[in-house]
Chain A
Amino acid sequence: MTLRLIPALTLSALLVACSSKSKDDEGGATPARAAAVTIKGSDTMILLAQRLAERFMEANDGHPVQVTGGGSGTGIAALINGTTDIANASRAMKPAEESQVQQRRGKPAVEHAVALDGIAVYVHESNPLPSITLAQLKAIYEGEVRNWKDVGGPDARIVLYGRENNSGTYAYFKEHVLDDEDFTADTQTLPGTAAVVNAVAKDVRAIGYGGIAFGKGIRAIPVKTDDAAKAVAPTLETVTDGSYPISRKLFMYTAGEPTGNVKAFLDFALSEEGQSLAVAAGYYPLARKAGGPANVAQ
């Protein structure tokens, strides 16, 4: 029967990452693993990778695909050490990491954008603020603006929620909204979008960010690129056509151009079926299939 090895065990990924110095563990694995496609990395992308893997295995006589989480950095570290075929990353690789891949694997890291993800900014449902500009978001998260009335809201202190610095969401928000400046030290950091949504729902003065999700008690606030621009709410439409300002690509990295089953898997991810699986799992397709290869956005 098919060997379905899809443990979404962050812990095991951590353990592997910690002990990944030993490069010679390739040989002692189960027979199935020798031929298996291994995928490791971003927790944001784990659902996407699992759905793709399940369908891919069904279509390919149960050719095994292993998917593990652990974070974008963990996946990239595994790619550097040669313990995974594909590294999932919800952020682009850092130059230091690229040079390590080149150094350790002798091949350049190759980037494959596989889907889009939008980052929503949430406020409590009772917050009357109609929209927010990117500049205001930057000022709020850098700690320059500390009261809602300074951005057109009620007179109340702003309570900030964000993600841990190991998350791709954190890195993306920092890079694209804060122009790579630091978050203010007051930002309460939480593990996972669900935790942020829950915290914002319980705090009328709160603001938070995370994957586009809908929960009770929160409102995803429409975002404007500048004062004159139109406020855009995060929806399938606006993320896919690129009009929503805070959206990002999700990547799968390989060391060198992919071959064999790895290539087949990545082709499948970019196929129409793969993209529709992404939508079903709550992500956004790379581009409208109005002709041409999927490669637009931003």
Chain B
Amino acid sequence: MPATRESGIGIAARPAPRPRSSPGYARRRAVDAVARWIIAAIATAAIAAVALIFLFVAKEALPVFTSPEVHEEVTIERMVLPQAWKEGATPSFSWQPVSKVPKYSLAPLVVGTFKVTLIALIFAVPIAVLAALFSAEFAPPRVRETLKPAIELLAGIPSVVLGFFALMVLATFFQDTFGFTFRLNAIVAGVGLALTIVPVVFTVSEDALTTVPKAYREAALALGASRARTAWSVVLPAATPGIFAAIVLGFGRAMGETMIVLMASGNAAILSADPAVSVRTIPATIAAEMGEVVVGGAHWSVLFFLGSLLFLVTLVFNGLGGWYVGRLRRKVGGTS
């Protein structure tokens, strides 16, 4: 049982007996009880806020399933399956909500969202994890003291600024270098996004690496392994659960990020696996279209449906991530 290992909890649960006669004992107990209530209430409020937000979003999305008025324009079937939008046309996926025949295929948006997120992770994870490994294992203390805050500062840059950078600088650079037809595309947006998730993945990975017990390193070095070998084959594997948790966090952040994608992805709902074409993601779609929709109409409900979908996907991935981290942790054995 893991509980026996965390001996700290055992002590807290069973306070050492104090003499009942001690003056102020009852008062201290009362203060403790009140503090516990206040903290519990605050924690509950935080959870309740998340639950209520989800309920509100889901409530607005409900007409997609129930309202006959909305069903005249859109049904789940029409959102999921390819449709022949004109008579005789081959069935296809299309996102054209403002149209004579509104088209609400989810496929281009879902594929776009995952495409950009994946590209962001491909760029960010190796950089962030290797930087964390350098910082935790190789960097002299003084370098480490500047490196860590510098990377974490990146997290403080507003995403509009990063989006602006991606739009003006990255897009031109990539187009000049690779000759992309679409100046704004999934790669540009993905690299822009990578800038926001590098600090997240770096910080959490770095913490995971530094909490690997010193005994592991000492044992490896004593067996004659070089520092690089120790870092790569002993410390890094021992920290996998923490690093995996970092990646899951980065994934959630990248998936929900709006501003950078809105500015740098081109926002064209093209269904394609090619990373060099424009993409339209779910968060960017919600942000871009919300201002114009008729309140309570089909388009409005679909946007809230997209919001619920995004919420659920990140929730499921975080849950799966947490479960997997737990499994890894048990396998690796009690670190981080």
A residues with CB within 8 A of B: 10, 13-14, 17-18, 20-21, 70-74, 76-77, 80-81, 94, 96-97, 100, 157, 159, 164-167, 170-171, 174, 180-183, 185-191, 195, 198-199, 202-203, 205-206
Contacts of A183 in B (CB 8 A): 96
B8, chain A: closest CB distance, angstroms: 44
Task: Give min CB distance, A128 to chain B, whole Å.
Answer: 20
Q: Do the beta carbons of B99 and A199 come within 8 Å of each other?
A: no
Q: Say whether B290 contacts A165, CB under 8 Å.
A: no
Residues of A within 8 A of B175 (CB): 202-203
Which A-chain residue is minimally distant from B288 (CB atoms)? Answer: A164
Q: Is the interface of A mostly helix, strand, loop or mixed?
A: mixed
Contacts of A77 in B (CB 8 A): 294-295
Q: How far is the CB of A136 from chain B (nearest CB, A)?
A: 20
Cross-chain contact B294 with A73 (CB below 8 angstroms) = yes
- Pairs A-B, 5 closest by C-beta atoms: A166-B292, A73-B292, A71-B291, A188-B266, A165-B98
B172 adjacent to chain A (CB < 8 Å): yes
B268 with A71: CB separation less than 8 A: no
Known: A96-B294, A165-B289. A170 touches B98 (CB 8 A): yes
* 29 A-B interface contacts by CB (under 8 A): A13-B291, A14-B291, A18-B290, A73-B292, A73-B294, A94-B294, A96-B297, A97-B294, A157-B181, A164-B289, A165-B98, A165-B288, A165-B289, A166-B288, A166-B289, A166-B293, A167-B292, A170-B98, A180-B100, A182-B94, A182-B96, A186-B268, A188-B268, A189-B268, A189-B280, A190-B267, A203-B175, A205-B181, A206-B183
Q: Are B98 and A185 in contact (CB under 8 A)?
A: no
Contact partners of B268 in chain A: CB under 8 A: 185-189
The 8 Å CB contact of A72, one of B167, B182, B292, is B292
Q: Which residue of chain B has its CB nearest to the CB of A203?
A: B183
Q: In the complex where A199-B184, A203-B183 touch, is A185 in contact with B270 (Cβ < 8 A)?
A: yes
- CB nearest neighbor in A for B185: A188
Q: A165-B292, A166-B291, A189-B268 are in contact. List 20 more A-B contacts (CB 8 A).
A: A13-B291, A14-B291, A17-B290, A74-B291, A76-B294, A164-B288, A166-B289, A170-B98, A180-B99, A180-B100, A185-B268, A187-B268, A190-B266, A191-B263, A191-B288, A195-B167, A195-B263, A198-B168, A202-B175, A205-B181
Residues from chain B with Cβ under 8 Å of A186 in the complex: 268, 270, 278
Min CB gap B256→A, angstroms: 17
- Which residue of the partner chain B has the closest CB to A200? B183
Measured CB to CB, the nearest residue on chain A to B171 is: A202
Cα of A165 to Cα of B96 in the assembled complex, Å: 9
Could you tell me if B291 and A159 are in contact, using CB atoms closer than 8 angstroms?
no
A80 touches B295 (CB 8 A): yes
C-alpha gap A60/B77 in the complex (Å) = 57
Is the C-beta of B269 less than 8 angstroms from some C-beta in chain A?
Answer: yes
Q: Is B108 an interface residue (CB 8 A)?
A: yes
Instruction: Indicate whether B321 reaches chain A with its CB closer than 8 angstroms.
Output: no
Chain B residues closer than 8 Å to A195, beta-carbon distance: 167, 263
User: Which residue of B has the minimal Cβ distance to A94?
Assistant: B294
Interface string of B275-318 (1 = CB under 8 A from A): 00010100000001111111101000000000000000000000
B97 in contact (CB, < 8 A) = yes
Q: Is B262 an interface residue (CB 8 A)?
A: yes
- Chain B CB within 10 Å, residue with most, of A18, A165, A170: A165
Interface string of B93-107 (1 = CB under 8 A from A): 011111110010000
In this complex, what residue of A is CB-closest to B176? A202
Is B288 within 8 A of A189, CB to CB?
A: yes
Out of A20, A100, A188, which one reaches B278, CB within 8 Å? A188
In this complex, the member of B94, B182, B271 whose beta carbon has the largest number of chain A beta carbons within 10 angstroms is: B182
| Candidate in A10, A21, A190 with the most chain B CB atoms within 10 angstroms | A190
Chain B nearest Cβ from A125, distance in angstroms:
16
- A93 to nearest B CB, angstroms? 11
Instruction: Output the least CB separation between B158 and chain A (Å).
Output: 14
Select one of B263, B269, B291, B295 contacting A185, CB under 8 A: B269
User: Given A96-B297, A186-B270, A189-B267: A71 and B292 within 8 A (CB)?
Assistant: yes
Max chain B Cβ within 10 angstroms of own Cβ: one of A80, A182, A188: A188
Min CB–CB distance A201 → chain B (angstroms):
11
Tell me the minimal C-beta distance from B58 to chain A in angstroms.
Answer: 15
